[in-house]
Amino acid sequence: MTSMVPGNGFRFAAEPIAGGGTPAADWRDWVGALPTLDLSDCPALVVVAPHPDDETLGFGATASLLRSRGVDVTVVSVTDGGGSVPGLSPMERRWLERDRRAELHSATTVLGLGEPVALGLPDGELADNEAELTAMLTDIVAARPTGTWCAATWRGDGHPDHEAVGRSAAAAVANTDAELLEFPVWMWHWAKPGDAAVPWHRMSTAPYDRAATARKRRAAAAFESQFVPYEAGMDVVLPPFVLQRLFAVGEAVIR
């Protein structure tokens, strides 16, 4: 059953981002031993991101590479990311959402992708909106060619919004003739090589492409709101080591 994937929110909560998590160096040999994902049978791609930047950080190079090969790619941004900075007033949150939408547009342009589809669901509350999200994703995926790849954050990624998106994507794929690929983002932070919570036997790494990776680096830089303090004295949302680790491990999917 596609929905029966245990969540790992407790693992993510037990590893504060500021603590650094699992170092990138610990992953290199492990990731290098995984099989390589065959991109040749992808008729079209829908990338489902819980927040603006997840599509780029989790699957941006692969999406860009496929688009450069003539594959149709659609990016779906489920929320506008207004919850990434806690304690904002309603007006400040709307400003942040505006900024994150602009960042996403810049990033997808750099990746060579079309205008993203923004669903506008509430950041931080996706577990309460899964039925609506599943219906939306079903419509989007059903309109694509048979066998379309639907790449979404992994149902066991730890972040509650990431896991909710993974569950809804799995349900949407079950309703259509698409194929589900789940990409980890926060798993690299809280898990360890060989971790029993991760289905390594179903994981493969996307092929490395120098030009696509360079585009991903430029696209990631567009998300300034996540890499600089919102106000003086605040912590950044994503410390530099998070980005460094994601680039070190590359892109992987659970299939």
Domain that holds residue 202: 34-83+90-254
**pTM score, whole prediction:** 0.96
Report the pLDDT value the prediction gives residue 5, as an integer from 0 to 100.
73
Give the pLDDT of the chain (255 residues) as one tens digit per residue: 444 678 999 999 999 999 999 999 999 999 999 999 999 999 999 999 999 999 999 999 999 999 999 999 999 999 999 999 999 999 999 999 999 999 999 999 999 999 999 999 999 999 999 999 999 999 999 999 999 999 999 999 999 999 999 999 999 999 999 999 999 999 999 999 999 999 999 999 999 999 999 999 999 999 999 999 999 888 999 999 999 999 999 999 999
Domain contains 225? yes
Domain contains 79? yes
Handedness of CA 198, 200, 203, 207 (dihedral sign): positive
CATH number for position 234: 3.40.50.10320
Report the pLDDT value the prediction gives residue 4, as an integer from 0 to 100.
62
The answer to whether 65 and 209 are in contact (CB under 8 A) is: yes
Q: Mark out the alpha helices in the chain (DSSP H runs).
A: 9-13, 24-32, 54-68, 90-110, 130-142, 160-174, 187-190, 210-220, 224-227, 240-249
Domain contains 9? no
> Which residue(s) pair with 49 in the sheet?
77
Domain contains 1? no
CA distance 211 to 65: 8
Report the pLDDT value the prediction gives residue 1, as an integer from 0 to 100.
40
Domain contains 23? no
Q: How many CA atoms lie within 13 A of 108 on its CB side?
A: 22
Report the pLDDT value the prediction gives residue 124, as an integer from 0 to 100.
96
> Beta strands 44-49 and 149-153: pairing type?
parallel
Domain contains 245? yes
Domain contains 198? yes
Report the pLDDT value the prediction gives residue 202, as an integer from 0 to 100.
98
What is residue 82's DSSP assignment?
Answer: T
Domain contains 29? no
Q: How many domains does the chain have?
A: 1
